[in-house]
Structure 1
Amino acid sequence: MDEDGEGRRVRGMGSRLCHDTLRHEILSLVLQPGQLLDETTLAERFAMSRSPVREALIRLAGEDLVVMLPNRSTIVAPIDVQAFPKYVEALDVAQRMNTRLAAELRSEADLQAIAARQAEFEAAVATGDHLAMSGANKAFHMAIAVAGRNPYLAAFYERLLDQGRRMLHLHFDYLERTNDGYLLTDEHRLMLEAIRERDVDRADALAHSHTRQFRDNFLRFMQENHLQAVPLGAGA
């Protein structure tokens, strides 16, 4: 490999490291919504030039995790509480449609994949690691979407799940602090059972209930913390 090629490879590795680290910190709320991300400071932190940092921030902007402002500043994407009802409305439609299709079209291989993702979610719950839990939760629901055989609906659903991971983090925190210990695992098992039995209507009802539980608990979390320092960024 020539020197230019080697330089691009090293820069690409640096950009990936910066992206992956910042993504983890944003999703786990270590970096708070609305927090300024200064390219120079990040370049110093990661011991690299500003160019790979900029590339990492552009990728994060494409994932709706940061917002690049007109003055060339970048902030962690706010959690827009005012838009939450519309978000949940879209999530409910996507969740129900993908789950209905899975119940109708699933194969035995799909069932094995969904069950494996559910086991991984339960293992993540046992660790108490909210980021691992939200990642495993997404994997469970995407296994259902794959079983539904509609890549367009699955892609829309995946984007919504990604956009909601920080809210799900707060949701898990609320359930743990209020001693509601099942943390979605019971509902996941019931959804898997309905899909296994090809019970489309029950799968639909469970998917709807699943979204409603997330909505209600997140809103209770917000009410509980309304007068406390819950940084949600400018969108709040």
Structure 2
Amino acid sequence: MAKTPKTTILNPTADEAPGDRKALLNDSLRRRIVSMELAPGAVLDEVSLSEEFGLSRPPVRELMRQLAAEGYIELEPNRPARVAAMGYETLRNFFLAAPLIYVATTHLAAENATRADIERLKATQLRFRAAIAENNTVDRVFYNDQFHHEIGLASGNPYLMPSLRRLLIDHGRLGMTFYRAPVSAEAAEGLETAVIQHDQIIEAIERRDAVGASDLVRAHWDLSRKRMADFVAPQGLDIPLG
């Protein structure tokens, strides 16, 4: 199995303000977790992270609490922070919830998106296209998730966003799992279809077609769900596909 490509993280310098170094740590940890560079269940060494990013312990702890609230890591009393685990129950809940949340956020985005929301969505889609053209697996997964995150923001519903953020963490990690396999002709065709569906979703949101946008994102989910389930679930393990 091919080794997961590592994300490129700029090293913090002494000239950067603590706030900048904290933002850099925040971005680094999110990408390392979603890209599976930090595996599910891996221990996060607070001291090492403080030294790597030139930060004192309090801002690192504060960031850890924020990441735990979003579902990236797990914090327990008297135990070191760990990357959020992935197991059977995680996969089961993911496949049950994903279509519900993607359809709900996309439907609402078509009703509520502003011009600025749509422009951000288009900019993310350009980055997604570039990642595919460059065969950059990490960026491909990251910008696919960012695309759906932007849709969630455009939905304008604060009740859905925490669930969407949590969903996207594991969608990204599952994506990194099955994208490690060699890209077959069928997979390449699927990626091209995904790009086209993204464009169609943007168009539906832009013309305020909530029903059409919902149908498109449901088809978009169907495109990837079966391959993900086949790749990560051992034969005979019953995981509902949603």
User: TM-score range with shorter-chain normalisation?
Assistant: 0.7 to 0.9
Contact 2:38–2:83 (CA<8 Å) still a contact in 1?
yes
The worse-fitting range, judged by mean Cα deviation, of 192-201 and 76-85 is: 192-201
Report the Cα offset of residue 15 of structure 1.
4.3
Q: Which 5+ residue runs of structure 2 have no aligned equivalent?
A: 1-15, 236-242
Identity %: 32
Other-structure match for 2:200: 190
Cα-Cα RMSD = 3.2
Q: Which 5+ residue runs of structure 1 have no aligned equivalent?
A: 1-8, 228-236
In structure 2, do the counterparts of structure 1 residues 220 and 43 end up closer, same or farther at CA, with 3 Å as the change threshold?
same
Other-structure match for 1:73: 80
1:131 to 130, 138, 148: 138
Contact 1:88–1:211 (CA<8 Å) still a contact in 2?
no
Contact 1:38–1:73 (CA<8 Å) still a contact in 2?
yes
Give the TM-score, by structure 1 length.
0.72
In structure 2, do the counterparts of structure 1 residues 65 and 157 end up closer, same or farther at CA, with 3 Å as the change threshold?
closer
How far, CA to CA, are the matches of 1:85 and 1:119 in structure 2? 32
Contact 2:110–2:209 (CA<8 Å) still a contact in 1?
yes
Give the TM-score, by structure 2 length.
0.71
Other-structure match for 1:208: 218
- One-letter amino acid of the structure 2 residue matched with residue 170 of structure 1: T
Deviations 1:80-102 (A, max 9, x none): 33232322322211211222233
Deviations 1:25-50 (A, max 9, x none): 22221111112223344445556554
SS in 2 for 1:117: helix
1:97 to 98, 101, 104: 104
Contact 1:92–1:211 (CA<8 Å) still a contact in 2?
yes
Contact 1:171–1:214 (CA<8 Å) still a contact in 2?
no
- One-letter amino acid of the structure 1 residue matched with residue 68 of structure 2: A
2:183 to 177, 196, 204: 177
**Number of equivalences:** 216
How far, CA to CA, are the matches of 1:104 and 1:46 in structure 2? 42
Deviations 1:26-80 (A, max 9, x none): 2221111112223344445556554444334333322322222333222221123
How far, CA to CA, are the matches of 2:25 and 2:116 in structure 1? 36
Contact 1:19–1:59 (CA<8 Å) still a contact in 2?
no
SS in 1 for 2:74: strand
How far, CA to CA, are the matches of 2:150 and 2:39 in structure 1? 30
Other-structure match for 1:27: 34
Higher helix share: 1
SS in 2 for 1:177: coil
- One-letter amino acid of the structure 2 residue matched with residue 38 of structure 1: D
SS in 1 for 2:159: helix
How far, CA to CA, are the matches of 2:154 and 2:54 in structure 1? 44
Contact 1:28–1:169 (CA<8 Å) still a contact in 2?
yes
Other-structure match for 1:144: 151
Other-structure match for 1:232: none
Contact 2:34–2:170 (CA<8 Å) still a contact in 1?
no
How far, CA to CA, are the matches of 1:103 and 1:20 in structure 2? 29
